[in-house]
Structure 1
Amino acid sequence: MRIIFMGTPDFAVPALHALHAAGHEIAAVYTQPPRPAGRGKALRASPVHQAAETLGLPVRHPVSLRKNTDEWAAFAAFQADVAVVAAYGLILPQSMLDIPRLGCLNIHASLLPRWRGASPIQSAILAGDTESGVTIMQMEAGLDTGPMLLRGSVPINGQTTASSLHDALSALGGTLIVQALADQPPATPQPEDGVTYAQKLTREDGRINWQESAIAIDRRIRALTPWPGTFTLLEDGMVLKIGAAVPLPQHKHSAKAGTVLDDKLTVACGEGAVQLTRLQKPGRGMMEAEAFLRGHPLPPGTVLLSPQDDSASAPQPE
């Protein structure tokens, strides 16, 4: 098939490679424009842009598609059978969705209709879901509301992180989109029951509320690492990033939530406790708890602040 591929982050790269390896003709790759990155803020091409150049594919990176009639004309000129979209980052107007002969197919990182929206991977872990997956859907004007062609699932357990789930779903998406184009299964409308929405995340979503249970805090750490990252505040205002923890839901204590209980960085939660295993203080890299404590002791009795413990807005981690 003659394909237009549209994607931007790492998540989309395996699908691009899978389509190319399957022998499809990729007429063009659309991606977000290069953005400033790193300490020097030099322009950096997106992962999809870099992958496309390696494969020798033509790349387009319009800033916007809204009312961009010149880009609509260029899109139509490729005479594609289908457009495949994976975390592209721009909304396709209906005038573009209607151009390819077989329409536009989206690789969505959830088992629709659960977790439509911007952060399906993180939301599945935060909610304690036992599985996630990828849905290949026909795109329409609504937010992830289109009919489904194919779905595949992966389990979520107590060790699943946003990074590991991202990688599993990314690979699965590549497999499913090739299968969907080969088999062309009939589209099935999404059920009306079970619809949930994954909201766009902000850095403040990463602030730990120690009043929550150990299980909920562990899920937050696993779901929001590496981005937006989880953090807490010391009483002196220092921002402390939390990279990993072990939940201790049966741990009994009578301490205020957020109190360090021992010299192993066990911290009291609203229910149970968590043992912090990876931490980072400002200006340093993430490190194991033992190494962290050698340079910055947190003796028993130290209190890590929950949002309700301070009246001012929390400083944001760098």
Structure 2
Amino acid sequence: MGTPEFSMPTLGQLVQSEHSVIAVVTQPDRPKGRGRGMTASPIKTLALSLSIDVLQPEKASAPEFIETLRGLKPDLIVVVAYGQILKQAVLDIPKSFCMNLHSSLLPKYRGAAPINWAIINGDKESGVTTMKMDRGMDTGDILLTLKTPITEEDNAQTLHDRLAQMGADLVAQTIEQMEKNTLTAHPQDNDRATLAPKLKKQDGLIHWEKDAITLCNLARGLTPWPGAFTFFKSKRLGLNAVQAAGG
């Protein structure tokens, strides 16, 4: 189950493994671009190119979808940036459990935009986590984690791409440990939990009273979307490839 580009390396790696990918679940096609034409999600496009069946429920809680999914009798459901909270009826379907890949070192940055907020907040490292899903938002027991430094050259796009590939590797490692019966789940420390709420276009507005490093981190964390911007003589100006100057 997945939707954006972040989920593509995981699907690609699963297809190349000895396991059978029996279906891909993704969001319905949505209007996109100036022409507002209906556009398939990146993961749907990849799945169809690999001749994998695609399911696109408007709501993953719909009874007819749940029955269809149950009829597939999956051993494991892997969820990577799907875009909907799953009900218990879905979580109970696989023979083992539903595994989620999250692009942060949980319990830090639960939510929709962990990559962006890690850079915006000036963190020195990020990573990916596999977890056993429960009904909460990124609150399930942690299975495995993999870390990476955040460099001064990173922005949200470069970190996204690195974590997507790391995540695919981590999902493969998690499944391998499942098969060897060496996988251990650990509860999250809720006292250390932080949130990474979805970003809005207006979050990119620069407030010049803040220090240079804070503004630089903001611009990097919002690249490529929604992008940092300011106004000069009533014209909107985007800020790209910024660097905090010394002195």
TM-score range, shorter chain: over 0.9
Say yes or no: does 1:70 pair with 2:64.
yes
3-state SS, counterpart of residue 150 of structure 1: strand
- Could you tell me whether the CA contact under 8 Å between 1:34 and 1:46 is conserved in 2? yes
Match of 2:212 in 1: 214
Higher relative contact order (CA 8 A, sep 6+): 2
Say yes or no: does 1:47 pair with 2:46.
no
Say yes or no: does 1:16 pair with 2:17.
no
Give matches, 1:75-224, under 5 Å: 75-184=69-178, 185-224=183-222
In 2: Cα distance, 1:83 partner to 1:121 partner: 23
Match of 2:22 in 1: 27
Scaled by the length of structure 2, the TM-score of the pair is: 0.96
- Could you tell me whether the CA contact under 8 Å between 1:113 and 1:191 is conserved in 2? yes
Unmatched tracts of structure 1, length 5 or more: 1-5, 251-318
3-state SS, counterpart of residue 34 of structure 2: coil
- Could you tell me whether the CA contact under 8 Å between 2:132 and 2:143 is conserved in 1? yes
3-state SS, counterpart of residue 247 of structure 1: coil
CA-CA distance at 1:193 after TM superposition: 3.5
In 2: Cα distance, 1:130 partner to 1:28 partner: 37
Give the aligned residue type for 1:117: G
Identity of aligned residues (%): 42
Structure label with greater radius of gyration: 1
Instruction: Give a deviation string over 1:258-282, Cα, whole Å, max 9, x none.
Output: xxxxxxxxxxxxxxxxxxxxxxxxx
Give the aligned residue type for 1:93: K
In 2: Cα distance, 1:56 partner to 1:96 partner: 24
CA-CA distance at 1:44 after TM superposition: 1.1
In 1: Cα distance, 2:204 partner to 2:19 partner: 41
Which is worse superposed, 37-46 or 179-188? Answer: 37-46
In 1: Cα distance, 2:235 partner to 2:157 partner: 26
In 2: Cα distance, 1:245 partner to 1:227 partner: 15
Quote the RMSD (CA, aligned, Å). Answer: 0.9
Give the aligned residue type for 1:24: H
Match among 224, 228, 231 for residue 229 of structure 2? 231
In 1: Cα distance, 2:74 partner to 2:242 partner: 48
Scaled by the length of structure 1, the TM-score of the pair is: 0.75
In 1: Cα distance, 2:18 partner to 2:49 partner: 16
3-state SS, counterpart of residue 232 of structure 1: strand
- Could you tell me whether the CA contact under 8 Å between 2:130 and 2:145 is conserved in 1? yes
Unmatched tracts of structure 2, length 5 or more: none
Give the aligned residue type for 1:207: L
Match of 2:238 in 1: 241
| Paired residues, number | 243
3-state SS, counterpart of residue 226 of structure 1: coil
CA-CA distance at 1:160 after TM superposition: 1.0
Match of 1:37 in 2: 32
In 2: Cα distance, 1:100 partner to 1:8 partner: 20
